[in-house]
Amino acid sequence: MDYYKAETPEEAVGQMGQLTDEGLQAVYYAGGTEIVTNIRKGALKVDAFIDLKGIPEMHLIEVKDDKIILGANVTLNQIIEHPETAFLKPILDKIADHTVRNVLTLGGNICGRLPYREAVLPLLALDADIEVCAQEGVEIYKLRDLFDKRLKLPKGTFLYRIHLLKNRNTLFSRRETEHTAVDYPILHTVLYSDDKKRTVFMGISGFAAFPIYSVVDRKEETAEAVVKRMLQEVESLAKSDDRAGADYRLNLLQVHLNEWLGGKL
Amino acid sequence: MWKTELGKSFVRKEGKEKVTGQVRYGGDIEIPGLLHAATKTSPNAFARILEIDTSEAEQMPGVKIVFTGQDYDQNVGLYLSDKAIIARNVVRHYGEIVAVVVADTYKQALNAVEKIKVSYDVMTPVMSPSDALKPDAPLLHENMEAYSHIAPIHPEPGSNVANRTKVRKGDVGKAFSKADHVVDVTVEIPPGDHVAMEPRVAIAEIKKSGYVHITSSTQAPFVVKNLMSHFFDVDPGKIIVDVPMVGGGFGGKAGLQLEGLAYLLSKKAGGRPVRVVNTREDDLLASPGHIGLESHVKIAADAKGKILGMDLVFNFNSGAYADYAVNVSRAAAISCTGPYSVENVKCDSLCVYTNMPFATAYRGFGHIEMSFGIERAMDTLADQIGLDPVELRKINAIKAFDTTPVQSVLNASTGDIETCFTRVSEMLGGNLGEVEHVDAQHIKAKGIAGLWKAPAMPTNTDAGAILTFNSDGSCNLNVGVVEIGQGTKTGLAQLVSERLKLPMEKVHVVMPVNTSTSPSDWATAASRGLMMAGVAALEACDDAISQIKTIAASVLKAPERDLVYEAGQIFVSDDPTLSVSFAEVVLGYVYPNGNAVYGQVIGKGRYIAKHLTDVDQETGKGHPDLEWTLGAEGVEVLLNVNTGRYKITKAVCCMDVGKVVNPELARGQVVGGMAMGIGYTIMEGFKFNTRGQVTNGVLRDYKIMRYDDAPEYSVEFLETPQQDGPYGARGLGEQSVIGMPGAISNALSRAAKVSLNTIPMTPELIWKQMQKGGTK
């Protein structure tokens, strides 16, 4: 397996294009928490890695007025510990464990193969924009436009930076595991009520085979009716696996929604 | 005056090396020319091996040999020779090793393993003891009658029963016919793993002289030596087993494990040193884990709650091979009633083969499993009668001069379990039968369990101690007990310090064990190290003191009876100005003119268990139990009734340990056992798919307890002296694990108002039971 370390976004996409043209299978590499463990298991076989950790701006958390720009290589712990992004802590500090979060990157969590991608939930809730690096240059997308079960990046491109508006309302989140907390979620729920747009966001991970989100226009509906509608929308997607059954997942979602109803809206 | 330091919490002798990473474990050792092994394991739970194609693997760079089951046609086994060294012709569990590559580097071995092709004829696996006991069940071991075994176990060829131990005491039929209350409880425990921090490792090298050098992460170096001699026909004196420190054992590293394989690999590789070190995955699945159980407990009691009889069936799930599991099933039978005095007992304890990863010893050795069913049944009985669960246990608590299920009489050293129950109840704030509604979602409840355990070991279990001295008068204690994290060697040093009246810093302990230089010691298992090696160490001290006095008597020109000693000096008792130091005599006394006499002092001490017998095959009658440690445990839980999620908020234990030698180490052992018992109860156990494959065979999925799952622990000790123990001490290493399944399930069952009789007790399981509605 070959290893390349890019120092600029152009170099990285260029390298990817070249390797692909040569008929080789290459992957972008950031924190490595998934890639390294999958290689050890023999579950991932590729010809080359293109390490993005040499691109300096991808490691930055920049705050300008009410805007936050997160480089995709920022680790979860950096976000958790940064005063301007600490509002994401209740969601991010439940992913993996502290040691892993020291290297687990935001971009890696969102773009990885594991079906949870929990870090995407608050970003979807807050309607983030993403910068994607392609051969032609950097392009900006709405995260919600590209995310469907997973982040559907154009071939050969990579997630470069994420733009957020500083959050005003509180993100509601609850996370359940089969038992001990350091485990994959059987349900991670993020709910966000946008008073200006009169919308309610629900994002869930661990519930189905992929993260699901929906944005509901509140119009004149009661909170209870909104919740009922959101529940109905996802009901049939509940999965049963080794960690929990579909009916238990549904019950937990109901409990989360009830707790949220009890607390706000 | 010498002031006793027994009961003082000295830090463990090897502690600084451990926490600074200076300790070298088996995996850290480098030997020039060392070869490395990697394994190929079975993806099938039950299959015939049709062909193993190793041709491509053999051609890979660095590969020295490829080893398959065909390379060695004999069986091995701890108590029952039911296992090929690696699978031969048939695989009986998922993850069983089918081939091993030995190469110059581990990476080369791994690369070559990928080139091995195995074809199987897959069979339908047997996935529970009850299925395995059906008359038409496939036989896992068709050739069982040909297996050799030790006399105390009783395999039943033509079935999947590797051992049946029977207990028949009194008249159970009569007891049940006149009972006012009868309860019938079934509990289930899945097989799982110990998850010791250090994966197992063995290095073998066969020297040209015929000496076999083994370095191993074993708890039982002398068992390894003896079994290797037996199975591989090597003189026992030519097998040298060297054990550096071991990173946790919990029973999982007793017996014969990777050593035999490493030996055969070295033999095939021309005697070169070969290391076999488990990956975490092999450690979970290819090496043995902990046993499973289906247990049926019936208790008959009178109107006041006095137990009249117990009728018990324990179907232990041994997995594919018997290993220690046969003796686990036997040990559970010997103490089958739990710590309660029962006149009429019938128990059939079976060790049953299934196509699951196989089982060996695990902390508690059959008692944690046995206790779960008994303690659930005790609470069910208390509910039925309307008695406080603590009261019911006190009414039936076993005490000195009662008889055990195998009719052996408990002696005056027996601990005071009644007080343990009282203290545990008080530590939890009393009112154990009641629940508290904390808020709309949360209920707080408490649960209690009794525990008892005697070592399950050969009747001739031994220990030894050798005490040598240094020029400054300090001593070196050499025993065959392995340091596996339990801290026994520090406790032993305290016993020596006390007996020689020598400060702790003058007592050195040899940390590694080497079977060619350490005195014989059965195994570091069964919570017996401090007691047995302790008695031997005290005898060695007495022997050394007697030699020291002989020398001092002639130096001081006084009879030995007039000599006293303290802090490394020998005095004439009626004239303390006359004295000589240990330093002057322990390596022989040298007169001012240079003449020397006597030579060095070498203390020797021995121990062998006394009065033990095997149990009768039909009735179980016998005296297999050397000493009993009794205690009680309890927990407080906080349950969310909407989700079934819960937190164990408090865990308490009161145990009668005879004498607390080192309070912090003792507390550490007890808290460690409680933590292990909590993890075992609430989240551990292998999961299987319909093909019998383990679906959580990696630590990403096989969850063990973390610190944030830990409750607040409280531990108290009682000290009813063990009269034949060192300064009254008895075993305390394993016992605290035993009561946790009972205490937790009792608390959760009370909170949820349902019967929770299955491990692991996941929130989902509780929620589901609550949906179905209470049976309680």
**pLDDT tens string A10-29:** 999 999 999 999 999 999 99
Closest by CA position to B227, among listed B236, B216, B214? B236
Q: What is the pLDDT of residues B194-207, one digit of tens each?
A: 999 999 999 999 99
Q: List the structure tokens of A135.
A: 């051969």
DSSP string, B400-457: TT-B-TT-PBP-TT---HHHHHHHHHHHTTS-TT--EE-SSSEEEEEEEEEEEE----
Q: Which residue segments constitute the domains of chain B, with CATH numbers given? A: 15-20+461-608 (3.30.365.10), 33-123 (3.90.1170.50), 292-457+612-772 (3.30.365.10)
Q: What is the pLDDT of residues A124-171, one digit of tens each?
A: 999 999 999 999 999 999 999 999 999 999 999 999 999 999 867 789
Find chain A residues with C-beta within 8 A of B687's C-beta. 242
CA torsion sign, B677 to B736 to B223 to B15? Answer: positive
What phi-psi label fits residue A188: left (phi over 0), alpha (psi between -120 and 50 degrees) or beta?
A: beta
> For residue A185, what is the nearest residue in chain B, using CA coordinates?
B701
Cβ–Cβ below 8 Å for A178 and B683: yes
- In this prediction, residue A222 carries a pLDDT of 85
Distance from CA of A156 to the nearest CA of B (A): 30
Q: How confident is the model at residue B773 (pLDDT cuts 50, 70, 90)?
A: confident
Determine contact: B768 vs chain A, CB below 8 A: yes
CB contact under 8 A, B703 and A252: no
B385 has a pLDDT exceeding 50 = yes
Q: Give yes or no for residue B775 having a pLDDT over 60.
A: no
B687–chain A Cβ distance below 8 A for any pair: yes
| Span B417-440, average pLDDT | 97
pLDDT at A42: 84
Res A194: pLDDT:
86
Asked if A178's CB is within 8 angstroms of B763's CB, the reply is yes
Q: Contact, B190 vs B686, CB < 8 A?
A: yes
Q: What is the bridge-based pairing of β-strands B462-469 and B475-479?
A: antiparallel
> What's residue A221's pLDDT?
82
User: Omega before B760 cis (within 30°)?
Assistant: yes
Please write the tens of the pLDDT for every residue from B7-35. Answer: 999 999 999 999 999 999 999 999 999 99
Percent of chain B with pLDDT over 90: 99
Q: What average pLDDT score do residues A202-231 get?
A: 91
What is each CA distance from B460 to B406, B463, B610, B612, in whole angstroms?
19, 10, 8, 8
On chain B, the residues whose CB falls within 8 A of the CB of A251 are: 642-643, 767
pLDDT in tens, B472-525: 999 999 999 999 999 999 999 999 999 999 999 999 999 999 999 999 999 999
Residue at token pair 């649960």: B447
pLDDT of residue B776 exceeding 60 = no
Residues with Cβ within 8 Å of B292's Cβ and at least 6 positions away in sequence, in order, are B129, B188, B189, B190, B191, B192, B316, B317, B319, B356, B359, B369, B685
Q: Please report, for residues B29, B490, B494, B525, the alpha-carbon distance to residue B662 in angstroms, rounded to integers and kept in the order given.
A: 32, 8, 8, 19
Residue B774: what pLDDT? 55
Is B772 in CB contact (< 8 Å) with chain A? no
Phi and psi at residue B606, to the nearest 5°: -135, 160
Q: Is B642 on the interface with A (CB under 8 A)?
A: yes
Q: What confidence score (pLDDT) does residue A165 get?
A: 92
Residue B570 has pLDDT above 70, yes or no: yes
B43 contact A CB<8A: no
The chain A residue lying nearest B646, using CA atoms, is: A179
Model ipTM value: 0.94
Query: Residue A230 is inside which H or E element, if any?
Result: helix A223-234
A180, A239, A260: which to substitute to probe chain B, counting the most B Cβ within 10 Å? A180
pLDDT reading at A265 higher than 50: no
What average pLDDT score do residues B709-727 get? 97
The single-letter code of the amino acid at B514 is: N
Span A49-53, average pLDDT: 97
> Looking at the predicted structure, is the pLDDT value of residue B130 above 90?
yes
Strands (E), B272-365: 274-277, 292-301, 307-319, 344-353
Interchain CB distance below 8 Å, B703 and A180: yes
Query: Quick one: pLDDT band at residue A40, thresholds 50, 70, 90?
Result: confident
Closest CA of chain A from B134, distance in Å = 28
Mean pLDDT within B404-422? 97
Q: Comparing C-alpha atoms, which of B525, B514, B611 is closest to residue B244?
A: B514
- As a whole number of angstroms, the distance between CA B181 and CA B191 comes to 33
Instruction: Share the mean pLDDT of chain A.
Output: 94
d(CA B148, CA B161): 15
Across the interface, whether the CB atoms of B703 and A242 are under 8 A apart is answered: no
Q: How confident is the model at residue A41 (pLDDT cuts 50, 70, 90)?
A: confident
Task: Indicate the pLDDT class of residue A264, thresholds 50, 70 and 90.
Answer: low
Mean pLDDT, range B347-356, rounded to an integer: 98
Average pLDDT of chain B to the nearest whole number: 97
What are the pLDDT digits (tens) for B224-268?
A: 999 999 999 999 999 999 999 999 999 999 999 999 999 999 999
pLDDT tens digits, one per residue of B720-738: 999 999 999 999 999 999 9
Domains and CATH numbers, chain A: 2-165 (3.30.465.10), 172-263 (3.30.390.50)
**Residue located via tokens 């032993």:** B492
- Phi, psi of A185, rounded to the nearest 5 degrees: -75, 145
Whether B72 contacts B65, CB under 8 Å: no
**CA-to-CA distance for B155 and B351, rounded, in angstroms?**
9
Per the CB < 8 Å rule, is B762 touching A179? Answer: yes
CB B722 within 8 A of CB B710: no
Tell me the pLDDT tens digit for each residue of B146-163: 999 999 999 999 999 999
> Counting runs of H as helices and runs of E as strands, what totals does chain B give?
18, 32
